[in-house]
Structure 1
Amino acid sequence: MAAGREHFSSRLGFVLAAAGAAVGLGNIWGFPTQAASNGGGAFLLVYLLMILIVAYPMLVVEMAIGRHGQANPIDSMRKLGRSPLSKTFGGGVGLIGLMVPCLVLAFYSIVGGWLISYLLAAGAELIGLHDAAIWLKGFSVERNLLGAGLFYLLTILIVQAGVKEGIEKWSTRLMPALFILFAVLFIYVMTLPGATDGLAHYLIPDFSKVMDSDLILAAMGQGFFSLTIGGCSMLIYGSYLSRKENLPKMALNVTLVDTAVAVIAGLVILPAMFAAMRQGVEIYDANGALLSSSTLVFDVLPMLFQGLGSVGTVVALVFFLLMTIAALTSSISMLECPVALVSERLGTKRSFASWLLGGVIAALSAVIVFNFGELFGLVATIATQYFQPIAALLFCLYGGWVWKRTQKLEELRQGYEDIEQGLFWKVWPLYVKFVCPVLVIAVIWMSLV
């Protein structure tokens, strides 16, 4: 199965693709919202610590399992087993993990469609099509179907082109564009009255809040989901990573890029929120809680853009282009997981598998759109609060307990020959075996409570 398997052609291509898989609305929407709701700088400080002690060790596990297996999640997990029973159970773990990106994509693409709709609305405003802009920003079944359809089209076109010509090629274009757009927005936002107050709130921690248990659990959960731990994307991208590469170092690079995007998103969005407050937009209630945490991107910030006059339309265009790019770099990794399974198991052409599976998941999205009130939140909850953390826990247990220590060492030695001499190997195997499961259980408990 490994013979003839496509691999990323460069280190940069892998890092940008894997970081792009992790970068998404969780970084650009979720992280700033969590920071704004949990003390700004205090949350940022704890988040950075949690990325190091929770997310990074787990990321190495998933990437190592993928590179060892050189296959889709189900077959990669089967290869860790030492008996027919453990191999069968491993395949079941892979199947649970595979359901995560499929379920997430079903609702994520609807949100991605909203972003595209707002992007098109800003473009329509610029050329004077005001009625079209109003329709694109309104909430309707037709608008949601159009946006999600366009989002799926972009996702499928990239995935069907393959690892090098699709995922890697577009990740190396979209990720730099993401940073450039962030820089443009940051420079502009910092010229607005009130923005410096938001920057201070974000960067200067209130140390009295750092040990707050709710803040620590929120930062742990955000760090966990930020790198899509348990979402299979890192496992499948790890299977496309050359064995000549230093895997812990590559995982660290992915972690740093993903974290940088989240931190930079906070640098843009929190100052923008405080600028909106200066213009009279209500952000917090009397108790200091964020009023519009779930609608920050679609309600609060557009109000800021409207208050900027004609230049606000251009700012909105740039912002929603940025958001669309971030969502797209994640969606291509989600679709890649089932596409890899079908292509490898059934021997079908990648293009056929991409359109077939993209169409099937798109049909599920359409069902959600037509029953939005009943299904959208339900599917999101099942995917992110149940399947993803449970899959992460099972990956961790398999990687720590079922996968033999000597086999893990053999895998990590490839690309890092003297790994046994370093601190990483002295700590990581035991840390993954004993500490990570406890931390993942804490994340599960937090998400359920």
Structure 2
Amino acid sequence: MTVDISSTSSAPREHFGSRLGFILAAAGAAVGLGNIWGFPTQAASNGGGAFLLVYLVMIFVVAFPMLVVEMGIGRHGQANPVDSMKSVTQHPIGQHIGGLVGWIGLAVPCAVLAFYSIVGGWLICFLLGALADIVGLQQVAEWLKGFSAERNVFGTVLFYLFTVLIVQGGVKQGIEKWSTRLMPSLFVLFALLFIYIMMQQGAVEGLKHYLIPDFEKVWDRKLILAAMGQGFFSLTIGGCSMLIYGSYLSKKENLPKMAMNVTLVDTSVAFIAGLVVMPAMFVAMQKGVQIYADDGSLLSSDTLVFTVLPLMFESLGLLGLIFSVVFFLLLTIAALTSSISMLECPVALVDERFDTGRKKTSWVLGTLIALFSIYIVFNFADMFGLVAMVATQYLQPIAALLFCLFGGWVWSRASKIKELEQGCPDFQLGWFGKIWPLYVKFVCPILVMTVIWASFG
């Protein structure tokens, strides 16, 4: 017995309207706080330039081949994650297990969105707080920058509102339309911030620390594992976003090339974030803000974005406040481009399975996950770290490993090749086409298991 994937929805499947639209939307899904917050923090904690060098290698050795698998499964299935995983095999037991793998994968964006939207809410509150500072509303600014449950609920609900409003518009009118606006804005804001920060005292030292690697540190085991993990999470491998966006990609497109473009845009954002945040940290040090402990470890790495950088902006007067607005607007945009891809995963499943209508489905599912987020806010000490850890250290790497095993071992070589030759007829003639099927079968699972082992360590 086989499943007719096309029968899961009565409406024809929507596709991205342009290559650029797909690249910016998929890169936007990958570009999030992991790039703009996580990557510079990891670089600062692990020797700057040495970490950057190893990270760039790991992105192309670990993350890119797996991105091709995830997008390939999505485009092959032309459906939500559960039905796409079922589509890779004709065997009834294999389809049953594939469906289960799809459900595990689908749990990732739902769990991540539950805590991620709270952080997104903080960003919106800091953005509004900086605006309140500029217009002299001191009490409002203090409330927005405080850490009360009410303020956190306010920010979270606002963040969900923006996310749902984009997702309900569909692929072309919602996700693609807003990604092609938000992603270029991201680069413009980065450019403005970079120019501004490089004019401050201490910025050049930060830039040197970031760009000039200490080659002795390059072979450090901890650094390699940190760079591998960061590269893996940077492209949201195992997060289902790439699978669902791949399902909206036309069969005429060159899938490996599209995956490479997504990888390059995502990596560029992480690299540029480092160009901004690392010099900003050294500027803050010049202003008397302590960043490193006596043993050389980074202080408050988790709250770097919310403590160290706002202190630096505040110390620079009105212009600093204006750039604080720019900085938090940039982070909010990055968080939104990720959250829309997370909500899209369950919305696609429910809409395709039950033909409930995208608009209604977006609001209902968005509200349900938002209620869980609000529950986390009111039980913050017990729940926030736990949900974040379960989602990112357990669920996502395990889902990535299962996707990888299914893509490498269950999805037949002939079917894989056939899928990638659509839009890329010469796929098997190039070196990537020759090694990729074996690479995802043997090398990728070992690398993913290494990431899982390191995250448990």
Q: Does 1:278 align with 2:283?
A: no
Identify the residue that residue 238 of structure 2 maps to in structure 1.
Answer: 230
Identify the residue that residue 126 of structure 2 maps to in structure 1.
Answer: 118
CA drift of 1:82 comes to 2.9
> How much identity, in percent, do the aligned residues show?
71
**Equivalent position SS for 2:90:** coil
Identify the residue that residue 217 of structure 2 maps to in structure 1.
Answer: 209
Identify the residue that residue 337 of structure 1 maps to in structure 2.
Answer: 345
Identify the residue that residue 366 of structure 2 maps to in structure 1.
Answer: 358
For 2:188, the aligned partner's letter is I
Identify the residue that residue 79 of structure 1 maps to in structure 2.
Answer: 87
Query: Cα deviations across residues 170-197 of structure 1 (Å, max 9, x unaligned)?
Result: 0000000000000000000000000000
For 2:106, the aligned partner's letter is L
Which of 279, 296, 311 aligns to 1:288? It is: 296
Identify the residue that residue 322 of structure 1 maps to in structure 2.
Answer: 330
Query: Cα deviations across residues 413-437 of structure 1 (Å, max 9, x unaligned)?
Result: 1000111111111110000000000
Identify the residue that residue 407 of structure 1 maps to in structure 2.
Answer: 415
Which of 293, 299, 309 aligns to 1:301? It is: 309
Query: Cα deviations across residues 22-61 of structure 1 (Å, max 9, x unaligned)?
Result: 0000000000000000000000000000001000000000
For 1:246, the aligned partner's letter is N
For 1:33, the aligned partner's letter is T
Q: Does 1:429 align with 2:429?
A: no
Which of 369, 392, 416 aligns to 2:377? It is: 369
Q: Does 1:398 align with 2:398?
A: no
Matches within 5 A, 1:9-48: 9-48=17-56
CA drift of 1:212 comes to 0.2
**Partner Cα separation in structure 1 for residue 395 and residue 357 of structure 2:** 29
For 1:445, the aligned partner's letter is W
**Equivalent position SS for 2:250:** coil
**Equivalent position SS for 1:291:** coil
Identify the residue that residue 195 of structure 1 maps to in structure 2.
Answer: 203
For 2:50, the aligned partner's letter is A
Identify the residue that residue 395 of structure 2 maps to in structure 1.
Answer: 387
**Partner Cα separation in structure 2 for residue 355 and residue 115 of structure 1:** 22
Q: Does 1:101 align with 2:105?
A: no
CA drift of 1:366 comes to 0.6
After superposition, the CA RMSD in angstroms is 0.6
**Equivalent position SS for 1:298:** coil
**Equivalent position SS for 2:394:** helix
| Structure 1 runs (4+) greater than 2 angstroms displaced | none
**Equivalent position SS for 1:294:** helix
Q: Does 1:7 align with 2:47?
A: no
Unaligned runs of 5+ in 1: none
**Partner Cα separation in structure 2 for residue 418 and residue 217 of structure 1:** 35
Query: Cα deviations across residues 391-440 of structure 1 (Å, max 9, x unaligned)?
Result: 00000000000000000011001000111111111110000000000000
CA drift of 1:100 comes to 0.2
CA drift of 1:81 comes to 2.3
TM-score, L = length of structure 1: 0.99
Query: Cα deviations across residues 280-335 of structure 1 (Å, max 9, x unaligned)?
Result: 10000111100110010000001101110111110110000000000000000000
**Partner Cα separation in structure 2 for residue 421 and residue 193 of structure 1:** 52
Query: Cα deviations across residues 335-391 of structure 1 (Å, max 9, x unaligned)?
Result: 000000000000111000000000000000010000000000000000000000000
CA drift of 1:272 comes to 0.1
**Partner Cα separation in structure 2 for residue 360 and residue 49 of structure 1:** 40
**Partner Cα separation in structure 2 for residue 83 and residue 437 of structure 1:** 22
TM-score, L = length of structure 2: 0.98
Identify the residue that residue 162 of structure 1 maps to in structure 2.
Answer: 170
**Partner Cα separation in structure 2 for residue 164 and residue 119 of structure 1:** 28
**Equivalent position SS for 1:13:** helix
**Partner Cα separation in structure 1 for residue 122 and residue 374 of structure 2:** 14
**Partner Cα separation in structure 2 for residue 419 and residue 56 of structure 1:** 16
Query: Cα deviations across residues 201-226 of structure 1 (Å, max 9, x unaligned)?
Result: 00000000000000000000000000
